[in-house]
């Protein structure tokens, strides 16, 4: 079964989606993008609740574009789940399920066992969402479209369900499109990841590849590669290197030419504290540190520079180092962790807002 989105374009006044091309096999495709980028519009064109201006949607070669939603064999889960209010949660799920065993199995996985006999209109937002999700999973769809199905849940349950949901979705053996603006959810659940901004598909690849080699500055910043800088490609002895505000950085500069003004990025987890003067290392001052629960983020401004480099440390690594704000440290940017994105000039329109 393959779901194909072919050159789909839709405009809503000034907002334009696409044209978008996607082929989703029996896999989970996460669609990640900021609020208002067109994720729901894309899902709605697949579900049939929004008609694209041009382009087609097909499932296993069958053109669905002109068909009403109920004749598409697809299921769309809205953010708040459209349940039958007077029926219990169990009845809502059983309505779609092939057996009582399946209801129990899904109730277990989605942690709704305790509310199965409660009427749908008495459920909390998060419970309602999980019951709606159970109903969609039970319905044996030809393709499943999920729009932020975990949006109303608090962090611990969200994390547990994320882990439960992945095998459940994979076991359906149908194309699943999973929309979210949460990068952790998108990477934990998706076999592949599509990043959308401003109605445009910027990158489609495995989550690991998108994170390691973002195609544009926006993808880099939106997927947490907050160290995003401009540099110049320069001749450097045996090969080429980057000149970053007068500092030399060894990095793979494939696909660029000497003199190019490029974006480059390095994820904070890959920046290290260096003892000695190793390759690509700089002395600087810690200007800010933030405890994030599962680790520390340190901003270090290299001497003579004004751009801070962010460094992520696990709590044990942070405690071992015994650091504080205004301390002087040496940091290293390992050459193989530096990703050169491409010519800055050509991509000026994609300059991200670094506040994200
Ligand atoms: N029926 C409509 N009429 C006019 N504008 C619309 C309509 N539907 C969506 N839009 C606009 O299209 C843009 C994309 O909306 P969409 O709901 O697809 O974004 P999204 O990525 O799902 O956002 P969020 O994550 O906030 O749900 C927004 O600017 C929205 O205001």
Residue that is last in its domain, among 217, 234, 250: 217
Q: Are residues 205 and 277 in the same domain?
A: no
Answer whether 44 contacts ligand 1 (Cβ < 6 A).
no
Minimum-distance ligand 1 atom for the alpha carbon of 33: 21
Question: What is the model's pLDDT at position 353?
Answer: 44
Residue that is last in its domain, among 170, 186, 217: 217
Answer whether 38 contacts ligand 1 (Cβ < 6 A).
yes
Instruction: Tell me whether residue 276 is in a domain.
Output: yes
Instruction: Tell me whether residue 230 is in a domain.
Output: yes
Instruction: Tell me whether residue 135 is in a domain.
Output: yes
Which of 10, 11, 12, 182 should be mutated for ligand 1, with most atoms under 8 A from CB?
12
Nearest alpha carbon, ligand 1 atom 30: 36
Q: How would you class 259 by CB atoms within 10 Å of its CB: exposed for 0-12, middle for 13-18, buried for 19 or more?
A: exposed
Q: Are residues 173 and 57 in the same domain?
A: yes
Question: What is the model's pLDDT at position 253?
Answer: 87
Instruction: Tell me whether residue 200 is in a domain.
Output: yes
**What is the CATH classification number for the domain harbouring 88?**
3.40.50.300
Residue that is last in its domain, among 217, 252, 268: 217
Q: Are residues 185 and 251 in the same domain?
A: no
Q: Are residues 132 and 22 in the same domain?
A: yes
Q: Are residues 130 and 236 in the same domain?
A: no
User: Residue 122 CB: number of other CB atoms within 10 A?
Assistant: 12
Instruction: Tell me whether residue 356 is in a domain.
Output: no
**DSSP code string of 173-199:** -S-EEEEES-HHHHHHH-SEEEEEETT
Count of the separate structural domains present in the chain = 2
Q: Are residues 316 and 286 in the same domain?
A: yes
Buried (b) or exposed (e) across 327-351, using 16+ Cβ within 10 A? Answer: eebbbbbbeebbbbbbbbeebeebe
Q: How far apart (Å, rounded) are the C-alpha atoms in residues 69 and 51?
A: 10
Q: Are residues 71 and 167 in the same domain?
A: yes
Q: How far apart (Å, rounded) are the C-alpha atoms in residues 70 and 61?
A: 18
Q: Are residues 155 and 291 in the same domain?
A: no
Answer whether 10 contacts ligand 1 (Cβ < 6 A).
no
Instruction: Tell me whether residue 48 is in a domain.
Output: yes
Instruction: Tell me whether residue 170 is in a domain.
Output: yes
Minimum-distance ligand 1 atom for the alpha carbon of 196: 21
Q: Are residues 247 and 196 in the same domain?
A: no
Q: Are residues 289 and 176 in the same domain?
A: no
Q: Are residues 207 and 222 in the same domain?
A: no
Instruction: Tell me whether residue 355 is in a domain.
Output: no
Q: Are residues 266 and 171 in the same domain?
A: no
Query: Containing domain of residue 86, as a range?
Result: 3-217
Per-residue pLDDT of the chain (356 residues), as tens digits, is 899 999 999 999 999 998 999 999 999 999 999 999 999 999 999 999 999 999 999 999 999 998 888 888 776 666 555 789 999 999 999 987 778 888 999 999 889 999 999 999 999 888 998 999 899 888 888 899 999 888 888 888 888 888 889 999 998 899 999 999 899 999 999 999 999 999 999 999 999 999 999 999 999 989 988 899 999 999 877 778 999 999 999 998 888 889 999 999 999 999 999 988 888 999 999 999 999 988 999 999 999 888 999 999 999 999 999 999 999 999 999 999 999 997 655 444 444 443 33
**What is the CATH classification number for the domain harbouring 251?**
2.40.50.100
Rg (the chain; Cα; Å): 24
Q: How far apart (Å, rounded) are the C-alpha atoms in residues 245 and 261?
A: 12
């Amino acid at each position: 079964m393959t779901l194909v989105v072919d050159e789909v374009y839709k405009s809503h006044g000034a907002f334009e989606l696409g044209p978008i091309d996607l082929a989703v096999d029996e896999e989970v495709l996460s669609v990640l993008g900021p609020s208002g980028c067109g994720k729901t519009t894309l899902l709605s064109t697949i579900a049939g609740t929004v008609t694209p201006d041009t382009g087609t949607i097909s499932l296993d070669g069958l053109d669905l574009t002109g068909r009403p939603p109920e004749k598409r064999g697809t299921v769309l889960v809205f953010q708040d789940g459209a349940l039958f209010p007077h029926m219990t949660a169990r009845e809502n799920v059983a309505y779609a399920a092939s057996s009582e065993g399946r209801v129990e199995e899904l109730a277990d996985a989605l942690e709704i066992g305790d509310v199965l006999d409660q009427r749908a209109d008495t459920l909390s937002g998060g419970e309602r969402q999980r019951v709606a999700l159970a109903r969609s999973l039970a319905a044996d769809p030809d393709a499943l479209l999920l729009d932020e199905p975990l949006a109303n849940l608090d962090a611990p349950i969200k994390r547990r369900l994320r882990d439960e949901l992945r095998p459940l979705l994979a076991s359906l053996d149908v194309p699943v499109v999973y929309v979210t603006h949460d990068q952790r959810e998108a990477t934990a659940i998706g076999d592949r990841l599509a990043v959308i901004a401003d109605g445009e598909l910027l990158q489609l690849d495995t989550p690991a590849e998108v994170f390691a080699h973002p195609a544009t500055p926006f993808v880099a910043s939106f997927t947490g590669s907050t160290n995003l800088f401009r540099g110049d490609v320069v001749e450097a002895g045996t090969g080429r290197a980057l000149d970053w505000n007068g500092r030399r950085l060894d990095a793979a500069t494939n696909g660029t030419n000497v003199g190019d003004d490029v974006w480059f990025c390095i994820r904070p987890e890959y920046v290290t504290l260096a003892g000695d003067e190793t390759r690509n290392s700089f002395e600087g001052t810690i200007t800010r540190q933030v405890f994030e629960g599962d680790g520390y983020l340190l901003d270090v401004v290299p001497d003579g520079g004004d751009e801070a480099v962010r460094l992520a440390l696990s709590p044990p690594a942070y405690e071992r180092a015994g650091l504080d704000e205004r301390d002087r440290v040496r940091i290293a940017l390992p050459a193989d962790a530096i990703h050169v994105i491409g010519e800055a000039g050509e991509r000026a329109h994609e300059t991200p807002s670094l506040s994200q």
